[in-house]
A and B are shown apart, each in its own frame.
Chain A
Amino acid sequence: MAQIVTIIGITHNPFMPRLFQQPQQPPGAAKVKERIAIMRQKLAAAKPDVLITIGNDHLHQFFMDNMPAFMIGKMDQYDGTFYDEIREFGLPSCKLPGDPDVSDAIMDGAFDRGVDFAYSNELTIDHSIVVPMLFVRPEMDIPIVPILTNCIAPPMPRPKRFYEVGKAIRAAIDSLPTHKRVGVLVSGHLSLEVGGPKQFERKLQDPEFDANAVGWIENGDIQSAVDFCTPERMLRAGNMTMGYLNFLMMMGVANNSKPSYAEGLDAGFPAIPFFSWDSQH
């Protein structure tokens, strides 16, 4: 039986890898790098054989001509990222090894539990997985199973569904016919605006939302999270705040247990999330 050896939740802010290379960095950058280093060490200490990487596509592989709610990649190797992300964010092109057997087993296990993933045999991943990997495993040497969500192009699945899908992923992992050590790496954000009137503000977009959002995870309070996260309230927190929903999926993967680490870091940017579960039983 497979064992979950770590769950990590982290930012996928695509501007940060380039920012961290610059000679002049804003004062908050050091605190962000320190947290990233903590998460990188946690992942290394857990020694996973395979990483389930959960993030949301940003209208790259997904588009409104054929929009899945939840998709799993089934490939030996994945390309990251797309032309526009290399241009806009200066992200590197990269190759990440896959584990299609684990992809298949999770998909089958999810089907058995009432979750019908879309799948892809030709998936390119964008910053929602590339950036977390650059942060916590820049060697990109652990095979991944990418799971992508639609939390950017409405209509979208409900917050409760993100949690339920996370629970199904967890149950599928627990039943994997393998002794592999499984790590789960989830990316998302707290309150955030992109392409709207409040974009690029170097401060928390909605401190009330952020404090609540970290608190629900800290306390395993999924009910308050789904009650609070109406489309209207999330929009008020920032027009891309729906990216928080990936973390409700993470709560499902953690079986709603309390995390070892939970923080919405205020470092002079929109809040930067860091979560971890260092062991799972």
Chain B
Amino acid sequence: MSKYLMNKLIHHVNMNEAAEDEYAGNPRAFVDKWEKTQKLKFTPEEREAVATKDYGKLYALGAHPFTLWSFTEAVWSHEKPREELVADYKEKAAKVGYPDFKT
């Protein structure tokens, strides 16, 4: 489990416009490159979730919900209308309830 590292990537992408653009353009390539600069490593499941912008999975794995939503809106807003994104995010979150997001 490396909830911390998931949060770190989400936080980095969310707070930096250049990283946001690069990640949104090619998340898998961004994640591969970024992880090499880190001391900690993702689990295979976490790596796949961040490489595919899979907000439902990230939520289920215990990413911090406050930052996760902000990140999700930033990296999906060009592909999905906001209303649809909000509804899908909530539906996916509802399926798993309240995973512990303590790190």
Which residues of chain A have a CB within 8 Å of any CB of chain B? 58-60, 63-65, 82-84, 87-88, 152-155, 194-200, 235, 239-240
Please tell me which stretch of B23-31, B44-52, B62-70 contacts chain A, meaning at least 4 of its Cβ atoms lie within 8 angstroms of it.
B62-70
B93: chain A residues within 8 A (beta carbon) = 195-197
In the bound complex, do residue B74 and residue A88 qualify as a contact, i.e. CB atoms below 8 Å apart? yes
Query: What are 13 contact pairs spanning A and B, CB under 8 A?
Result: A59-B67, A60-B15, A63-B11, A83-B15, A84-B70, A152-B66, A154-B101, A155-B102, A195-B64, A195-B70, A197-B90, A197-B93, A239-B98
In the bound complex, do residue B94 and residue A197 qualify as a contact, i.e. CB atoms below 8 Å apart? yes
In the bound complex, do residue A83 and residue B17 qualify as a contact, i.e. CB atoms below 8 Å apart? yes
Is B103 among interface residues, defined by CB-CB distance under 8 A?
Answer: yes
A87: chain B residues within 8 A (beta carbon) = 17, 74
In the bound complex, do residue A84 and residue B103 qualify as a contact, i.e. CB atoms below 8 Å apart? no
Question: In whole Å, how far is A16's beta carbon from the nearest beta carbon of chain B?
Answer: 17
Contacts A60-B15, A84-B14 supplied; 6 other A-B pairs, CB < 8 Å: A83-B17, A195-B67, A199-B69, A200-B86, A235-B98, A239-B65
Is B16 among interface residues, defined by CB-CB distance under 8 A?
Answer: yes
Q: How far is the CA of A63 from the CA of B92 in the complex (A)?
A: 26
A196: chain B residues within 8 A (beta carbon) = 65, 93, 98
Q: Binding site of B, secondary structure by majority: helix, strand, loop or mixed?
A: helix
- In the complex, which of the residues A59, A60, A83, A199 contacts B64, with contact meaning CB atoms closer than 8 Å? A59
Question: In whole Å, how far is A246's beta carbon from the nearest beta carbon of chain B?
Answer: 15
In the bound complex, do residue A83 and residue B69 qualify as a contact, i.e. CB atoms below 8 Å apart? no
Question: In whole Å, how far is A150's beta carbon from the nearest beta carbon of chain B?
Answer: 12
In the bound complex, do residue B97 and residue A197 qualify as a contact, i.e. CB atoms below 8 Å apart? yes
B74: chain A residues within 8 A (beta carbon) = 84, 87-88
- In the complex, which of the residues B8, B15, B86, B94 contacts A82, with contact meaning CB atoms closer than 8 Å? B15
B51-64 contact mask (Cβ, 8 Å, vs A): 1 or 0: 00000000100001
Q: How far is the CA of A12 from the CA of B66 in the complex (A)?
A: 15
Q: Chain B: which residue is nearest A152 at the CB level? A: B66
Question: In whole Å, how far is B26's beta carbon from the nearest beta carbon of chain A?
Answer: 20
A153: chain B residues within 8 A (beta carbon) = 64, 103
Q: How far is the CA of A240 from the CA of B65 in the complex (A)?
A: 9
Question: In whole Å, how far is A12's beta carbon from the nearest beta carbon of chain B?
Answer: 13
In the bound complex, do residue A194 and residue B15 qualify as a contact, i.e. CB atoms below 8 Å apart? no
Q: How far is the CA of A83 from the CA of B17 in the complex (A)?
A: 7
Q: How far is the CA of A88 from the CA of B17 in the complex (A)?
A: 12
Q: How far is the CA of A25 from the CA of B55 in the complex (A)?
A: 30
Q: Chain A: which residue is nearest B67 at the CB level? A: A59
Q: Chain A: which residue is nearest B101 at the CB level? A: A154
A155: chain B residues within 8 A (beta carbon) = 102
In the bound complex, do residue A154 and residue B70 qualify as a contact, i.e. CB atoms below 8 Å apart? no
A88: chain B residues within 8 A (beta carbon) = 70, 73-74
In the bound complex, do residue A194 and residue B65 qualify as a contact, i.e. CB atoms below 8 Å apart? yes
B8-23 contact mask (Cβ, 8 Å, vs A): 1 or 0: 1001001111000000
B4: chain A residues within 8 A (beta carbon) = 64
B11: chain A residues within 8 A (beta carbon) = 59, 63
Q: Chain A: which residue is nearest B90 at the CB level? A: A197
B17: chain A residues within 8 A (beta carbon) = 83, 87
Interface centre among A152, A154, A196 (most CB of B within 10 A): A196
Q: How far is the CA of A152 from the CA of B103 in the complex (A)?
A: 12
Interface centre among A58, A82, A84, A199 (most CB of B within 10 A): A84
In the bound complex, do residue A64 and residue B103 qualify as a contact, i.e. CB atoms below 8 Å apart? yes
Q: How far is the CA of A87 from the CA of B16 in the complex (A)?
A: 11
In the bound complex, do residue B66 and residue A58 qualify as a contact, i.e. CB atoms below 8 Å apart? yes
